[in-house]
């Protein structure tokens, strides 16, 4: 399991030719949750002219939906969805609410406005990769543990848990496809004089540059 989504829920506001655009971004886990959120936004902004939406749901982006909500066909929902697709995001919904300011934007202007609002919101919020990692428990002597930070730094890893008794038990988490190589590297680092065992797994969110 691995997918990309936004770091958090957030609302971003822009003014384009006197029209007020509010981009609501929310992480969701189901289509119903996304639809409930869209309904909530429409209720909160019932005086707005439009609340257009786009959603992608599923770890493999299985569900994709969009709505122009009264804007000319193809000028809002699909452009918004396209931005989410290009960023390879999923498990989120975007709702852009428009309060008309008196100046018509035209087809091209609407497409740029709605897609731009979503793109700007994503850039402001940031992206994380959500993935599962495998745990490895490492049993070390106290003298071995003194050099353990050097190994972690070289592998770009961090300790998740540490227990101190007659020996040191340290738990680290790595991507599943890297666990075997990590154990081999540990054995090489300590000349085969180290004990390791699997220690469950966890879901992590890794910030990405976007």
| Percent of the chain predicted with pLDDT > 70 | 99
Say if pTM beats, i.e. exceeds, 0.95.
Answer: no
Confidence of residue 206 (pLDDT cuts 50, 70, 90): confident
CATH node for 2-125: 3.30.230.30
Domain ranges of the chain: 2-125, 132-208
Domains 2-125 and 132-208 share a fold: no
| Percent of the chain predicted with pLDDT > 90 | 96
pLDDT exceeds cutoff 60 at 56: yes
Q: Which architecture characterizes domain 132-208 according to CATH?
A: 2-Layer Sandwich (3.30)
Backbone dihedral region for residue 94 (phi beyond 0: left; psi -120 to 50: alpha; all else: beta): beta
pLDDT digits (tens, 9 = 90+) for 148-159: 999 999 999 989
Over residues 50-70, the mean pLDDT reads: 97
Residue 2: strand, helix, or coil: strand
Which positions ≥6 away from 137 have C-beta within 8 Å?
A: 169, 170, 171, 196, 197, 198, 199
């Amino acid at each position: 399991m691995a997918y990309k989504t936004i770091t958090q829920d957030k609302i971003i506001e822009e003014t384009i030719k006197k029209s007020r655009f509010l981009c609501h971004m929310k992480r969701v886990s189901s289509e119903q949750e996304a639809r409930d959120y869209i309904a909530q936004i429409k209720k909160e902004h019932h005086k707005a002219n439009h609340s257009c939406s786009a959603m992608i749901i599923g770890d493999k982006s299985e569900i994709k939906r969009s709505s122009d909500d009264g804007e000319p066909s193809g000028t809002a929902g699909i452009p918004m969805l396209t931005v989410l697709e290009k960023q390879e995001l999923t498990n989120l919904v975007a709702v852009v609410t428009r309060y008309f300011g008196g100046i018509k934007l035209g087809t091209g202007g609407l497409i740029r406005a709605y897609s731009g609002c979503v793109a700007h919101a994503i850039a402001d919020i940031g992206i994380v990769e959500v993935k599962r990692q495998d745990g490895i428990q490492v049993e070390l002597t106290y003298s071995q543990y003194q050099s353990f930070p050097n190994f972690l730094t070289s592998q770009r890893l961090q300790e998740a848990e540490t227990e101190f008794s007659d020996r040191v038990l340290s738990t680290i988490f790595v991507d599943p496809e890297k666990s075997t190589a990590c154990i081999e590297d540990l054995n090489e680092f300590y000349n085969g004089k180290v004990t390791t065992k699997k220690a469950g797994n966890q879901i992590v969110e890794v910030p990405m540059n976007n």
